[in-house]
């Protein structure tokens, strides 16, 4: 599967492949990072990138799948979070220069749910 194929892989298929050990969360994230770095200068889609943190989470998810441990619904899926959506301790500008230095003091309910589900 090419990097581009992986970038368009449905989440349900990625989870199935993680469970079957035919794809790892690290492999998927690597492909997505390469693609983001390739197109970001042109499309400017990401205000902030937390690739190191995402890789740490992908490695933990990969270990869970490898050991046959219990996994959550979104375990290992890389998920982009909109800049208007708070994650405690992360910058959140809401796309506005006025808020460019704002750091969230809480995590939004939606993001909490994504994180609890392994995303």
Domain housing 93: 3-116
Helix, strand, coil tally for the chain in percent (to 5): 50, 0, 45
pLDDT number for residue 89: 95
pLDDT greater than 90 at residue 117: yes
pLDDT number for residue 70: 93
Residue 75 phi/psi, 5° resolution? -55, 120
pLDDT digits 0-9 by tens, 43-80: 988 888 999 999 999 999 999 999 998 999 999 999 99
- The arithmetic mean of pLDDT across residues 97-113, rounded, is 94
- The arithmetic mean of pLDDT across residues 86-102, rounded, is 91
Tokens 């750091």, located at residue? 103
Other CB atoms within 10 A of residue 11 CB: 13
- Are 37 and 68 in contact by the 8 Å Cβ rule? The answer is no
**For 84, what's the count of Cα atoms within 13 Å in the CB-facing half-sphere?**
2
pTM for this structure? 0.91
Number of domains in the chain: 1
């Amino acid at each position: 599967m090419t990097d581009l194929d992986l970038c368009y892989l449905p989440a349900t298929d990625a989870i199935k492949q993680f469970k079957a050990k035919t794809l790892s969360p690290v492999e998927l994230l690597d492909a997505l990072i390469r693609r983001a770095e390739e197109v970001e200068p042109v499309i400017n889609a990401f205000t902030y990138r937390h690739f190191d943190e995402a890789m740490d989470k992908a490695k933990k998810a990969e270990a869970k799948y490898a050991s046959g441990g219990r996994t959550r619904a979104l375990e290992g899926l890389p998920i982009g979070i909109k800049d208007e959506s708070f994650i405690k301790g992360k910058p959140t500008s809401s796309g506005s220069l006025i808020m460019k230095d704002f750091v969230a003091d809480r995590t939004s309910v939606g993001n909490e749910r994504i994180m609890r589900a392994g995303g």
